[in-house]
Amino acid sequence: GESVGLHLPTLSVQEGDNSIINCAYSNSASDYFIWYKQESGKGPQFIIDIRSNMDKRQGQRVTVLLNKTVKHLSLQIAATQPGDSAVYFCAESGADSSYKLIFGSGTRLLVRP
């Protein structure tokens, strides 16, 4: 079936360093991708999204890169802060022309002070 997976379940970085969280997706027909941040006991928080007609999109301190050739998505966080500590999920959508989201397994980001 469809699946979205991640390479690293846990990522530990030093405060101030850049973080890169990776995600592999399996459905080449997906055309919309989103990164979410989830803190303990809370719902997912939208970070940034990208459509399949783009390779890169930048936000405030975050950048999403999409490589459709290898079906790979990444989230880059610049100058990682303690408040960035959370679980990050990628999600894909649009393969079946619906708005359903398929979530990846998640990466826990730990920021060392």
Partner 1 sequence: GAVVSQHPSRVICKSGTSVKIECRSLDFQATTMFWYRQFPKQSLMLMATSNEGSKATYEQGVEKDKFLINHASLTLSTLTVTSAHPEDSSFYICSALPLSGGAGNEQFFGPGTRLTVL
Residues near partner 1, by CB under 8 A: 32, 34, 36, 41-46, 49, 51, 89, 93-94, 98-106
C-alpha closest to that of 61 among 86, 79, 34, 87: 79
Q: Residue 94 Cβ, how far from partner 1 at the closest point, in Å? A: 7
| Identity of the residue, 14 or 28, whose beta carbon is nearer to partner 1 in the bound complex | 28
| Identity of the residue, 15 or 96, whose beta carbon is nearer to partner 1 in the bound complex | 96
Backbone angles phi, psi at 104, to 5 degrees: -75, 180
Q: Residue 79 Cβ, how far from partner 1 at the closest point, in Å? A: 25
Q: Residue 106 Cβ, how far from partner 1 at the closest point, in Å? A: 5
In whole angstroms, what is the distance from residue 55 CA to residue 41 CA?
A: 32
In whole angstroms, what is the distance from residue 86 CA to residue 1 CA?
A: 28
